[in-house]
Structure 1
Amino acid sequence: MDSLSSLSSPLQYPVVRRDDSIVDDYHGVLVPDPYRWLEDRESEEVNDFIEKQVQLTDSVLQKCETRDSLREKLTDLFDHPRYGAPFRRGDSYFYYHNTGLQAHDVLYIQDSLNGDGDLEGNVLLDPNELSDDGTVALRILSVSEDAKYVAYGISSSGSDWVTIKVMRIKDRRLEDDTLLWVKFSSICWTKDSKGFFYNRYSAPEEGEKLDVGTETNANINQELYYHFLGTNQSDDILCWNDPQNPNHLSQPYVTNDGKYVLLYIYDGCSSVNKLYYYEYKTSQLSNGLKGMIPFIKLVDNFDAEYIVVSNDDSSFTFRTNKDAPKYKLVRVDLNEPSIWNDVLPEEDKDVLLSANAVNKDQMIVRYLRDVKHVVQLRDLKTGSLLHNFPFDIGTASEISCRREDSIAFIGFTSFLTPKIIYQCNLKPGFELRIFREVVVHGFNREDFIVGQVFVASKDGRTRIPAFIVSRKGISLDGSHPCLLYGYGGFGCSLTSYFDVSRVILMKHLGVVFCLANIRGGGEYGEEWHKDGSLGNKMNCFDDFISVGEYLVDYGYTQPRKLCIEGGSNGGLLVGACINQRPDLFGCALAHVGVIDMLRFHKFTIGHAWIPEFGCSSKEEEFHWLIKYSPLHNVRRPWEEFPVKASQYPSTMLLTADHDDRVVPLHSLKMLATMQHVLCSNLEKNMQTNPIVGRIECKAGHGAGRPTQKQIDEAADRYGFMAKMLGITWIP
C-alpha cells in the first residue's frame, strides 16, 4: 500500500505529560483521566500541546501530493453563483446570493417579482463587510412584519455566541440597538413590528476580557426577553425564566394573526417539549409588565413534541409525535384544551417532516419515504390530498411560503443536482416552474450514478438504508477507494444533497461515496431514533460497521481503501468504530467529535445531550457509556485483535479553537490518548499509520465558516485521505 508510513521515516510524536494521579470513581469503577489538564483552554501547556500538534500535522500534509490539486479544483468548482429561495415580508422579497467565492452569502431585497419571475435585487446586508478575513458571520436574521427593519445576529470565529443588531431597511441605517450574550436563540418579532423576543444568558464574570467561544463553562439559566426598538438592552423585559430547571431551553413563536405568543420549552435535544401560550397585547408590554408573562400551560410534560403549523383564532394545528412516532397533525381549541383531534393521521411508512400553511386554507407537507422526500399540497382544514409535487428523487431543502400568499418557493437538491428553486403558483389552479437553477461548471451529472441499497444489520432484523454514488461503469472488483459517511443521532436525517468536494473525489480520485442512514437518525421516525440512543447507542456503530462490511463484500472497495467520516455526533461514530473495528478501515476523519462520553455534560451546552446519550452520574447509564466512549476504549489492536488487525487506520481528528458546542478538549484528549497508547516508544511498535489532529484557528463547530476555510479544510482532510489510501490524481 502506497502510504506515508512506507515512504518516509516514522513520525516523531510530541512527548505529552500524563497525570496518573487523576482517577475518578464512577459507581465503584475507577477510571483514570491522565489528560484532564487538556481541558484548561487558557493553560500555556495546552497551547504548547496544540502548537506541537499543528506542526506535526503540517509535516504530514506537506507530503500529501494531491492536496494542492484538490485545493485548486475545489476553488474552481466553488466559484459558481448560488441562491437561496426568496421569502416575503410586507411587499418585499428577500433572498441570499453568493457570487461564488465570497466568504458568506449576501442578503438581497427586491420590491416585487419581475414579469418572468426573476429577481434582480439590491444588497441589503453583506456579512463580508463585517471582517477582512470572513470570520465574522451572519447566524440568525428576521425581518419585521412591515419590512421596515431587519434584526440580525452575528458571531465571531465560529462561536455560538451571537450579538444582535438592527438595521432600518429603507436606507440601510444601523440602529443603536445592540444585544449581547445571545445564544441558541431566534429573533421573533411581534406583529406590530415594535420589537421582538429573544433568548440570552447572563453575562459571564469575565465580561469583556473573555475570548468568546473558548470558554467551557456550562450554559445554564437561559432567559426569554422582549426588546423594544430604540431602547437599551438593560431596559429589555424579562418574560420567562425557570431557575428551578437551569438546563431548560425555551423558544418563542408569535402566531401569524399576532394574537398569541407560544413558548416551547425543551429539556435538552430530545424530540419532546412543553407548550405554553399567552394571548397578549403589545400595550401590556409597553406599559411595563412587572413580572413574567403569565403563560397558560397547554402541555406541561415532556411526553411528545408539538410544533405549531397554523391557527384560526383559538383553534391551533400542531405537528406532533404524540402516539405517532412518524408524526401526524392534530388540532385543538384553546377553549377546550382536553380535546385533540387528528387532522392528518400518522402514515404507516412515511415520516411527516413538516407542514407549512399557504394560500389561506392549504398546506405544503413534506414526507420522508425511504430517505427520499415526497412533497404534497393538502387541505389545511381536512388534511385531504390536493396535489403531488412531481420532484425527482432528492431533498426539498427549503420551503418558503406564507399563509396569506398564493405563491410558494421550494428549493430542491440531490447528490447530482446542485440546486433548483421552484416557483409554485397556487391560485388559480396549480402551476409549477423552475424559478432559478444553480449550475456548476465542469460538472456533468451524466458521468455519475446513484443507487440505494438496504444492508442487513448485525441484529439480523433491521435493514439499514445507504446511498452509493460513483462514476458510471465502475467494476465491482474491490479496487476503488471509498468514503463512508454517517451521523446517526438526535433524530437528524441524512438525505441526498449536493457537495462540490464529493464530485471532485469521484471524478479525480476515483472514490465511491456512501451515505449510511444508520439508527439514531430520524429516517424512519422516532422509533428509529430511539433504537440508536441511550442504551441502544451501540446499534449506531453496529449499523455503520455493517454498511462498511457490505461495501467490502460487494466489491466496492477493500478495508485498506475504505475511509470513514463524520462530524459532531458523527465524530463520536467514527471514534467508536475505529476502536471496535480497526481492521475494517484504512483511514478515519472525525470532525469536532463528542469523544469523552463520561464528562461531555460538564461543558457549555453538553448537558442538552443527556437525553440522547445518558449521563455518567447514573450507574446504569455510566455502564452504557463506558462501553463505547472513544476516549476510554483505545486499545493496541496487535494485542487485542492479533489475527484481524495490526494497527489503527490512519486517523485525522479535526477541531477548532472557538468551538463552544463540542469543545476542543474532546479531540485534544483523544489525540493525546491515541498517540500514547498506539505510537509511544514500544518494544514492538506496530502503529505506523499516522494519528494526527487538524486544529483550526478562528473557527467553531462549523456554522458560519467562510468559503476559503471550507476549501482549505476539505483540501487538507481529503489530501490526507488520498495519501493514506494510496490514491493518485486522475486528470
Structure 2
Amino acid sequence: MNISYPKTRTSNQVDYLFGERVADPYRWLEGDVRESKDVAAWVQAQNDISGGYLNALTYRSEIKARLGMLWNYEKFTLPTKRGERCFFMHNTGLQSQFVLVVQEGERQPRMLLDPNSWSEDGATALAAYFPSPDGKFVAYQVQDGGSDWRTIKIVSVDTGEALSDRIDWVKFSGLSWKKDGSGFFYSRYPEPETGEAFQSLNHNQAVYFHAIGDDQPQDRLIYARAENPEHGFGAEVSSDGETLVITVWRGTDERYEVVLIDLSTLGAAPVELISGFESNYTYIATANNRHFFLTDSNAPRGRVVSTPVDDTVADWLEVIPESENVISGVSIVGGRLFATYMQDVKSAVLTFDLDGALIGDVTLPGVGTASGFGGEPEDTETFFGFESFNQPYTLYRFDVGTGDQKVFKQPDAPFNPDGFVVRQVFYPSKDGTEIPMFIAHRKDLDLSSAKPALLYGYGGFNVPLTPAFSVTRLQWMEMGGVYAVANIRGGGEYGKAWHDAGRLRNKQNAFDDFIAAGEYLIEKGVTSKDRLSIFGGSNGGLLVGAVVNQRPGLFAAAIPAVGVMDMLRFHKFTAGRFWTDDYGDPDEKEHFRNLYAYSPYHNINEGEDYPAVLITTADTDDRVVPGHSFKYAAALQAADIGDKPHLIRIETRAGHGAGKPTEKIIEEYADMWAFLAHHTELEPHLP
C-alpha cells in the first residue's frame, strides 16, 4: 500500500558538538502540543494517515472485539491492611479505571473511591492510595491525562466523604503517615512557570509535612537541599514511628544517601546515616531496636543489614548474606524477614528470623513471579500475588505463624490458562554471554514450520522482565503467534553486574543481546525474518529503534512505544536528566560519542529496506516527551528506506502508560496486533 505521508517542514538547525556537525531539522516538533498550533496540526495530520491505515487492516475489528471479551473479567490489586480494614483496588472487567474498595473483616467490600466518575473520558486515574495507620483516612493521588504530576486528596473511610485538603505539584513521591494519623510526609516540586509544567526540568524537590485539615501553604518544610537542586527525596516513617527515614536520590541508579530525623523531638537536626551515593540502601523496617536495610554494598546481588536505632553512626550487622540469587524485595512481617529472590528470573521466597537464621520457604503456586508480603513487623498475616505468562494475577493470604496460605481473590478469567505453554531457553549473545529468554505460545500450536513471533525487550535501568500475565500477550498467543521475552543485559535479572554490562558505554551489549534473540528464534525454526516482529516501550522503545537501524533486514515489523529516540537531547526535558545514570551525559565528550553512535533519530540508514514500523506515543507524555517519537517518525518518513509503512500513532489525553483507560488500551492493542498480524502473515485464530 502506497502511503502519502504528511509533509513535515524542516529547518536548518545544526549543533556543533565536540567537533561533530549534528543536524536536527525537526527540532520544532519538540514543542508542546498544548502550546504549539503547528505541532498540534502535525499530530492531527499524522493520526489521520495512521488511523485510516490501521482501521482498514484485515481482522482489526475482530481483534478488538475478542480483546474486549478477554479483558472482561474481575481484577484485583494487592491489599493493604490497617486494623480490621483491608483496602484494595478492583475492576469489574471493562471499567476505565480501577475502583478503591475497603473490606472490613469478613463483610463484603464496599466502594470508597470511583475514579470513573472523575472525568468524562475516563483519563483521570487513582494513581496511588495510602491508608492512615488506624484506617480512618485514605490519602490518595490523582493522575490526569497520564501526566506524572499528582494531586493529593484525602477521604474519610467512615463516611466516604472527601476532605477539603488538596496538595498540588507532587511528582515521583509516595507519602507516609505519622503513627498518630495526624498527617503525613510527602515530597513535591515548586510550582512550574506558566506553560512549563510538562516539559521543563524537575528541580528542587523537598519533603513536607501535611497536617489533616491544613491548606497546602501551611505544610511544614521538613528537608531540602537548596545547594543540590537535582536531588530528590523519599520520606518514610519508621515502623516504630520514632524516625523519619529520608532516602536521597539523584538519578535512576539505585545509589542513595540516607538521612534520619528524630520525630520525637520537634525541630530535631537531620542525621546523615549513609553518604556518598555509592550503594543501594533501601529501608525495610525497624524491629528489635534496629533499622533494617537491603543493600548492594559489597554484595552486587543484595544482602540485608541492620544498625541500632540509637546510633548516629551506622554500626552495620549483616543479617542475610549475599547468595547466588538476586534479592528483589524484603519485608518484615510477624517478626520474620520475607526475602523474595530471582532464580534465573523466576521467584523464590525464603523466610528468616530477625537474626538471619533460615526458617523456610514459601510454597508458590508455580513457576512465575511473586510480589507483596507487605505489612508491619507486628502483623500476623500478609498478602502476596502470583502470576506468570499463562496465569492471571491471583492474591493469597498468608498466615505468618502457621505458614498456611489460601486464596484471597482469584480471577475467573474467560480463557483456559492450561491451553498455553511457557518455556525458558538460554542463547549466546554476540560476545558469548548466555542470555535467558521466555518463549510462550498456544499448547496446540504446530511449531514444525516458522510461525509469526513477537519478541519483547527492555534492557535498562536495572529493571528485570519477570514472568507476568497480560491479556494482550495472551491474545497474541491465542491468535496463533509466539511471544518471546529476552532478558537482555542492562536489566536487573542477575544483579548489579548484569545492569552494568548493558548501560553507559556497554549499552551496545543490550542491542546485541536483542538481535541475538531474534537470530536464535530464526535459527531454531520458531519463526523467520519475514514473520518476526519486535516490540518495546520507553527504554524498550529506544531498544527497538536502535536495533532496527542496526539490523533492518532481520525483522518484518517493529513497534517502538514511547521511546527515547534522540539520545543527544533527552536530558533537557522533565525527568530526562535522571537517565544519564544509564545512558551517560550527552554534554560529556566520552558519552556523546557513544550516544551519537546508536541514537535512533540520528542513525537511520538511507538505502536500506526497513521493516514496517508503527511508532506509538501520547501527546501528553511528560516522562519521555513525545517530541522524541515525533522527530523520529518525521525522519523515517523522509528517508529512502523502502516501501513498507512507517507510521506514528499518537494517543490523546494519555501519558507514558500509567492511568490509561481500558478503552484506550483496547483500541491501541487492536491497532498494534492488526498491524503486526498484517506484516507477519498471521491469520488470527479468533474463537
TM-score, normalised with respect to structure 2: 0.97
Measured in 1, the distance between the counterparts of 2:154 and 2:444 equals 54
- The answer to whether structure 1 residue 455 and structure 2 residue 427 are counterparts is yes
The CA deviation at 1:16 is 1.2
Q: 1:312 to 1:728 in 2, by over 3 A?
A: closer
The match for 1:689 is 644
The match for 1:111 is 104
- Give 1:347's aligned amino acid: S
The match for 2:637 is 675
Measured in 2, the distance between the counterparts of 1:83 and 1:254 equals 27
Match of 1:524 among 494, 501, 522: 494
The match for 1:633 is 603
Structure 1, 336-345 or 259-268: larger mean CA deviation: 336-345
The match for 2:332 is 357
- Give 2:437's aligned amino acid: A
**Any conservation in 1 of the 2:428–2:516 contact (CA below 8 Å)?**
yes
In the TM superposition, 1:694-713 aligns within 5 A as: 694-713=649-668
Match of 1:174 among 158, 162, 165: 162
The match for 1:720 is 675
Match of 2:254 among 260, 271, 279: 271
SS at match of 1:723: helix
Measured in 2, the distance between the counterparts of 1:605 and 1:336 equals 33
- The answer to whether structure 1 residue 256 and structure 2 residue 230 are counterparts is no
Match of 2:468 among 484, 497, 503: 497
The CA deviation at 1:174 is 1.1
SS at match of 2:440: strand
Match of 1:446 among 418, 421, 425: 418
In the TM superposition, 1:217-616 aligns within 5 A as: 217-281=200-264, 284=266, 289=267, 294-312=269-287, 314-334=289-309, 335=311, 337-348=313-324, 350-359=325-334, 361-427=335-401, 429-441=402-414, 443-460=415-432, 462-508=433-479, 510-616=480-586
Measured in 2, the distance between the counterparts of 1:398 and 1:182 equals 25
Measured in 2, the distance between the counterparts of 1:263 and 1:109 equals 30
Measured in 2, the distance between the counterparts of 1:701 and 1:294 equals 39
Measured in 1, the distance between the counterparts of 2:660 and 2:263 equals 39
Q: 1:70 to 1:85 in 2, by over 3 A?
A: same
Q: Please identify runs of 4+ aligned residues in structure 1 that moved more than 3 A.
A: 473-478
The match for 1:17 is 9
Measured in 2, the distance between the counterparts of 1:202 and 1:446 equals 52
SS at match of 1:339: coil
The CA deviation at 1:184 is 0.9
Measured in 2, the distance between the counterparts of 1:77 and 1:276 equals 47
The CA deviation at 1:211 is 9.0
The aligned length equals: 683
**Any conservation in 2 of the 1:418–1:439 contact (CA below 8 Å)?**
no
- Give 1:431's aligned amino acid: D
TM-align CA RMSD = 1.5
SS at match of 1:605: helix
**Any conservation in 2 of the 1:272–1:305 contact (CA below 8 Å)?**
yes
1:585-636 CA-to-partner distances (Å, cap 9, x unmatched) read 0000111001100000000010010111001110001011011110110012
The CA deviation at 1:377 is 2.0
**Any conservation in 2 of the 1:50–1:695 contact (CA below 8 Å)?**
yes
Q: 1:358 to 1:39 in 2, by over 3 A?
A: same
The match for 1:683 is none
**Any conservation in 1 of the 2:370–2:384 contact (CA below 8 Å)?**
yes
The CA deviation at 1:676 is 0.9
The match for 1:82 is 75
- Give 1:424's aligned amino acid: F
Measured in 1, the distance between the counterparts of 2:127 and 2:624 equals 18
Measured in 2, the distance between the counterparts of 1:536 and 1:525 equals 16
Q: 1:729 to 1:382 in 2, by over 3 A?
A: closer
**Any conservation in 2 of the 1:155–1:163 contact (CA below 8 Å)?**
yes
Q: 1:602 to 1:528 in 2, by over 3 A?
A: same
- The answer to whether structure 1 residue 28 and structure 2 residue 19 are counterparts is yes
1:227-253 CA-to-partner distances (Å, cap 9, x unmatched) read 111111111111122122211111001
SS at match of 1:608: helix
**Any conservation in 2 of the 1:377–1:389 contact (CA below 8 Å)?**
no
- Give 2:657's aligned amino acid: G
- Give 2:200's aligned amino acid: N
1:27-76 CA-to-partner distances (Å, cap 9, x unmatched) read 11111111111111222221121111111101211221111111101111
Measured in 2, the distance between the counterparts of 1:565 and 1:669 equals 19
- Give 1:700's aligned amino acid: G
Q: 1:312 to 1:410 in 2, by over 3 A?
A: closer
**Any conservation in 2 of the 1:476–1:554 contact (CA below 8 Å)?**
no
**Any conservation in 2 of the 1:457–1:464 contact (CA below 8 Å)?**
yes
Measured in 2, the distance between the counterparts of 1:153 and 1:87 equals 16
1:442-468 CA-to-partner distances (Å, cap 9, x unmatched) read x122222111000101001x1110000
**Any conservation in 2 of the 1:568–1:592 contact (CA below 8 Å)?**
yes
The match for 1:643 is none
The match for 1:641 is none
Measured in 1, the distance between the counterparts of 2:429 and 2:47 equals 39
The match for 1:39 is 30
Measured in 2, the distance between the counterparts of 1:725 and 1:606 equals 34
SS at match of 2:138: strand
- Give 2:675's aligned amino acid: F
**Any conservation in 2 of the 1:140–1:187 contact (CA below 8 Å)?**
no
The match for 1:681 is none
Measured in 2, the distance between the counterparts of 1:538 and 1:531 equals 9
